[in-house]
A and B are shown apart, each in its own frame.
Chain A
């Protein structure tokens, strides 16, 4: 089996989720002594390709037409590489990048695709995939018919690949100009700059819900507690809808799926759609004024109280705790 993993990067570094996806590919390839390669796409990607080669052989397509991550050109480029390299399985970490581009590439090869794979197994010579459905209430084990097969993989479900003892090769590849034609034009990206870790990658996440009444409060309480813990901030949909938290912080079925060591939910009720995004965290802690809030049904430890009163107290105690740390 030949497996191609599409890297996601920011122009200079690989996203950690891609390394987990490579981890998946290496596991999936092992029983059939298969081969795994990376595909790095973009413009000016020499550094990323070199970084990726620390883990597996790289096919690199460096082209002006790939300056922005637009689905039309990216999907065609992926489809071309899959065809010329005769890959059987194509994988990428689940993210808005992959969700946009991957199905489009899969459709150019017959549409055998699984989304958000959390586990795989070999059975009777077939690779089966576990995919969450109904916001994670049900998991379906599926087989795909057709080849090549495309899968997006939930990064938190797989350990990151480890570097090779010696860097692998980077093979540059050229594609015909028609690959890059498109009728969508990139205009720009507006993002909130933050010094905090990315919510999808952080070891600790502090999330706020409707309890918080303003962006200032969110920053002061949720942000304040996150900073003493070296954590990322996250949010329920309620606060994103209200414009109190930026959309890239939303955790849940339709936001980011996270599985940190600790997820701390402040003033979040625990709707199924929110739980879908965080219930695989190693530990869950919750503060809520309502003792019957559903979040307590999944929390390893809970505290009933007003977040406006409890959060500053937690910050105070954890600051003392952190100061007393030896390592």
Chain B
């Protein structure tokens, strides 16, 4: 079995992120970048499957510039077998990422594409569903548990109304939610091994996918910050303010 794991490189969103003064960019250059947290969960799950079942190859793929070596080496250090960088000059919107990923799926013919439900920079939550549609594969988004049963994959999904269970026939696409697992830290040995694992670079132009821009950003602005209010010393006053805001009582 082969599992393809798309991984995006994103700024660490625990850091303070603001729009540039001219509104044309988001100031991220000075911020450390990481593997998108949901993609780390996808890598972890794929690696666990490869540890549990025989003959499972985990391939990580990133679409971006040469700086993608960093998140892909992280994926390799966590246990992926090889990596692919689809090199392109500038960041692409989810539609074009999904079209390039489709071309990679056609070359690699994986049984399962396992990827993050959303990238924490654009928060789009689109790419996996786009890709599933382009491939006409069954999908299970927001997965919190995976189990292979014969040739099928049983998935628990986190929905607004509870945990839904689906069974998918392979090949299939699954996007990860936070509670699927806790990604491991790459061990020193893992990091050493990762240096020797194959990391291939393909120019996006070679995939025969003409770009079709869909999202034009007109401007960015930093989110509205709220001002801190009062700190109450009296519980009576605090309770009264709560009652007032909730619209109960006097």
B221 neighbours in A (Cβ, 8 Å): 138-139, 141
Per-position binary interface string of chain A over residues 76-112, scored 1 when its CB falls under 8 Å from any chain B CB and 0 otherwise? 0000000000000000000111011111111110111
Which residues of A, 285-327, contact B by the 8 Å Cβ criterion?
285, 291, 296-305, 310, 313-314, 317-318, 321-326
Rounded to whole Å, the gap between the CB of A252 and the closest CB of chain B is: 10
Does B7 sit at the interface, judged by CB under 8 A?
A: no
Per-position binary interface string of chain B over residues 233-250, scored 1 when its CB falls under 8 Å from any chain A CB and 0 otherwise? 001101111110111111
B127 neighbours in A (Cβ, 8 Å): 103
B131 neighbours in A (Cβ, 8 Å): 107
Asked if residues B239 and A321 are in contact (CB atoms below 8 Å), the reply is yes
Asked if residues A190 and B163 are in contact (CB atoms below 8 Å), the reply is yes
Does A28 sit at the interface, judged by CB under 8 A?
A: no
Which residues of B, 134-186, contact A by the 8 Å Cβ criterion?
134, 137-142, 144, 154, 157-169, 172, 177-179
Q: Which A residue's beta carbon lies closest to that of B134? A: A107
- Which residue in B123, B134, B238 is a CB contact (below 8 Å) of A301? B238
Does B222 sit at the interface, judged by CB under 8 A?
A: yes
Asked if residues A325 and B126 are in contact (CB atoms below 8 Å), the reply is no
- Which residue in A128, A132, A283, A291 is a CB contact (below 8 Å) of B223? A132
State A135–B123 Cα separation when bound (angstroms): 7
B239 neighbours in A (Cβ, 8 Å): 313-314, 317-318, 321
- Which residue in A100, A141, A285, A325 is a CB contact (below 8 Å) of B241? A285
Q: Total A-B residue pairs with C-beta atoms closer than 8 Å?
A: 295
* Chain B interface residue bracket vs A: 35 or more
Given that A97-B160, A107-B129, A139-B223 are known contacts, is A116 also in contact with B123, CB under 8 Å in the complex? yes
Given that A188-B165, A314-B238 are known contacts, is A321 also in contact with B243, CB under 8 Å in the complex? yes
Which residues of A, 264-302, contact B by the 8 Å Cβ criterion?
264, 271-273, 279, 282-285, 291, 296-302
Pick the interface stretch among A43-51, A179-187, A213-221.
Answer: A179-187
Which residues of B, 204-250, contact A by the 8 Å Cβ criterion?
212-223, 226, 228-232, 235-236, 238-243, 245-250
Asked if residues A272 and B13 are in contact (CB atoms below 8 Å), the reply is yes
Which residues of A, 237-284, contact B by the 8 Å Cβ criterion?
237, 240-241, 246-248, 253-254, 256, 261-262, 264, 271-273, 279, 282-284
Does A164 sit at the interface, judged by CB under 8 A?
A: no
B123 neighbours in A (Cβ, 8 Å): 115-116, 131-135, 253
State A212–B80 Cα separation when bound (angstroms): 38
State A247–B143 Cα separation when bound (angstroms): 12
Pick the interface stretch among A19-27, A56-64, A143-151.
Answer: A143-151
Asked if residues A302 and B120 are in contact (CB atoms below 8 Å), the reply is no
Q: Which B residue's beta carbon lies closest to that of A283? A: B245
Rounded to whole Å, the gap between the CB of B78 and the closest CB of chain A is: 20
Per-position binary interface string of chain B over residues 109-134, scored 1 when its CB falls under 8 Å from any chain A CB and 0 otherwise? 00000000110111111111111111
Q: Which B residue's beta carbon lies closest to that of A315? A: B239
Asked if residues A100 and B242 are in contact (CB atoms below 8 Å), the reply is no
Residues of A in contact, count (CB < 8 Å): 101
Rounded to whole Å, the gap between the CB of B18 and the closest CB of chain A is: 7
Consensus secondary structure, chain A interface: mixed
Does A167 sit at the interface, judged by CB under 8 A?
A: no
State A323–B19 Cα separation when bound (angstroms): 49
Given that A132-B223, A137-B17, A321-B249 are known contacts, is A99 also in contact with B125, CB under 8 Å in the complex? yes
Asked if residues B216 and A142 are in contact (CB atoms below 8 Å), the reply is yes
Asked if residues A262 and B242 are in contact (CB atoms below 8 Å), the reply is yes
Asked if residues B214 and A146 are in contact (CB atoms below 8 Å), the reply is yes
Which residues of B, 91-118, contact A by the 8 Å Cβ criterion?
94-95, 98, 117-118
B137 neighbours in A (Cβ, 8 Å): 183
B248 neighbours in A (Cβ, 8 Å): 229-230, 318, 321-322, 325
Does B26 sit at the interface, judged by CB under 8 A?
A: yes
A261 neighbours in B (Cβ, 8 Å): 245-247
- Which residue in B14, B121, B141, B226 is a CB contact (below 8 Å) of A284? B226
Does A231 sit at the interface, judged by CB under 8 A?
A: yes
- Which residue in B133, B159, B220, B247 is a CB contact (below 8 Å) of A107? B133
Asked if residues B160 and A200 are in contact (CB atoms below 8 Å), the reply is yes
Does A40 sit at the interface, judged by CB under 8 A?
A: no
A-B contact pairs, 26 of them (CB 8 A): A99-B141, A106-B126, A111-B214, A114-B215, A132-B223, A133-B122, A137-B223, A140-B219, A141-B219, A141-B220, A144-B214, A145-B213, A146-B214, A183-B138, A189-B159, A189-B161, A191-B163, A204-B247, A248-B160, A272-B14, A282-B245, A285-B238, A299-B229, A301-B229, A302-B232, A317-B235
A-B pairs, 4 with minimum CB distance: A191-B162, A111-B95, A321-B249, A107-B133
Besides A186-B164, A204-B247, A321-B243, 13 new A-B residue pairs in contact (Cβ under 8 A), listed by A number: A104-B132, A104-B139, A110-B212, A116-B123, A133-B122, A141-B218, A184-B169, A187-B154, A188-B165, A189-B164, A190-B162, A272-B14, A310-B235
B interface residue numbers (CB < 8 A to A): 11, 13-14, 16-19, 26, 94-95, 98, 117-118, 120-134, 137-142, 144, 154, 157-169, 172, 177-179, 212-223, 226, 228-232, 235-236, 238-243, 245-250
